[in-house]
């Protein structure tokens, strides 16, 4: 059967997450329903990462198997037609080898977290940022983040329901950018790794917010990491500031 890679963008607010659920809307379910409009029958797609409720994506990658030999552009156009009016879009589509897998062929995931710093409620960015009513010291945040770069046991920074076999991960990058966003001053956290644990990014950002607010010294991040204890983590921030922005593969199926 022909296999197709899909580059997917979505607004996470209406969904209970990526993964299909029997009684709640999901991004996976929306795309599988659209596929069924093109080729009747059950469809099961796989994604590079299962984002949680409220989490957004600009660069999620999934793959599907179809009976018909579709032109990739026509397939993406047909899916986008049937996905309306849901906030899900297929940005690109490519034919891939039958053993190519959106999850297992990936070598890198990239996430962005947006933190808005202002007292007045966000209007235009509501549901797209995590808002705090105070300013954060970006230099303190960066000092705290340095302790998390590299190979570590991230038990402190993963959910108790995380299903990963090991808490040991290599975090290749945390870059903290201070910008003047559309709604006001933001800190944007750029994180890159081969793979992430469940709630790892949200746990890290919530902890670093405490550092930037002056409630934690930067060294406490290292102490929390070394504790390997979920109770040592700072607050877990909400999902609606988080975006899956890219997935890396040895050969980019969407290049060219």
Residues ≥6 apart with Cβ < 8 Å to 178: 138, 185, 186, 187, 188
Average pLDDT score over the chain: 97
Task: Please report which residue ranges of 110-228 form alpha helices under DSSP H.
Answer: 138-145, 200-212, 219-227
Active site residues: 52
Residues ≥6 apart with Cβ < 8 Å to 19: 26, 28, 50
Quick: pLDDT tens for 55-69: 999 999 999 999 999
The mean per-residue pLDDT over the stretch 125-136 comes to 97
Quick: pLDDT tens for 3-34: 999 999 999 999 999 999 989 999 999 999 99
CATH number listed for the domain at residues 108-246? 3.30.70.660
Quick: pLDDT tens for 71-81: 999 999 999 99
Quick: pLDDT tens for 141-184: 999 999 999 999 999 999 988 889 999 999 999 999 999 999 99
Selection from 25, 24, 1 nearest residue 10 by Cα: 25
The answer, yes or no, to whether residue 186 has pLDDT greater than 80, is yes
The answer, yes or no, to whether residue 256 has pLDDT greater than 80, is no
Higher pLDDT, 22 or 187: 187
Q: Where exactly does CATH 3.30.70.580 map onto the chain?
A: 3-105
Q: Where exactly does CATH 3.30.70.660 map onto the chain?
A: 108-246
Selection from 114, 136, 120 nearest residue 54 by Cα: 114
Quick: pLDDT tens for 201-253: 999 999 999 999 999 999 999 999 999 999 999 999 999 999 999 999 999 99
Which CATH fold topology does 3-105 show? Answer: Alpha-Beta Plaits (3.30.70)
In this prediction the pTM is 0.96
Q: Looking at residue 226, what is its pLDDT?
A: 98
Residues ≥6 apart with Cβ < 8 Å to 234: 203, 206, 207, 208, 209, 210, 216, 224
Q: Looking at residue 22, what is its pLDDT?
A: 87
For residue 238, give the DSSP letter.
P
Beta bridge partners of 112: 190, 243
């Amino acid at each position: 059967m022909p296999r197709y890679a899909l580059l997917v963008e979505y607004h996470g607010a209406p969904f209970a997450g990526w993964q299909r659920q029997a009684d709640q809307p999901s991004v996976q379910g929306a795309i599988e329903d659209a596929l069924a409009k093109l080729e009747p029958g059950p469809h099961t797609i796989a994604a590079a990462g299962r984002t949680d409720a409220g989490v957004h994506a600009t660069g999620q990658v999934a793959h599907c198997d179809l009976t018909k030999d579709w032109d990739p552009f026509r397939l993406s156009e047909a899916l986008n037609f049937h996905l309306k009016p849901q906030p899900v879009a297929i940005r690109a589509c490519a034919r891939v080898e039958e053993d190519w897998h959106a999850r297992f062929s990936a070598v890198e995931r990239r996430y962005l977290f947006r933190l808005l710093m202002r007292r007045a409620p966000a209007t235009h960015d509501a549901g797209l940022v995590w808002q705090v009513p105070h300013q954060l010291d970006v230099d303190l945040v960066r000092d705290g983040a340095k302790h998390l770069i590299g190979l570590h046991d991230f038990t402190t920074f993963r959910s108790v329901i995380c299903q990963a076999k090991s808490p040991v991960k290599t975090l290749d990058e945390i870059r903290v950018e201070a910008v003047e966003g559309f709604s006001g001053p933001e800190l944007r956290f750029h994180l890159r790794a081969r793979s992430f644990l469940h709630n790892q990014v949200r746990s890290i950002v919530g902890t670093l917010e405490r550092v930037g607010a002056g409630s934690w010294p930067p060294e406490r991040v290292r102490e929390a990491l070394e504790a390997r204890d979920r109770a040592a983590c700072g607050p877990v921030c909400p999902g609606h500031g988080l975006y899956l922005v890219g997935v890396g593969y040895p050969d980019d199926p969407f290049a060219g």
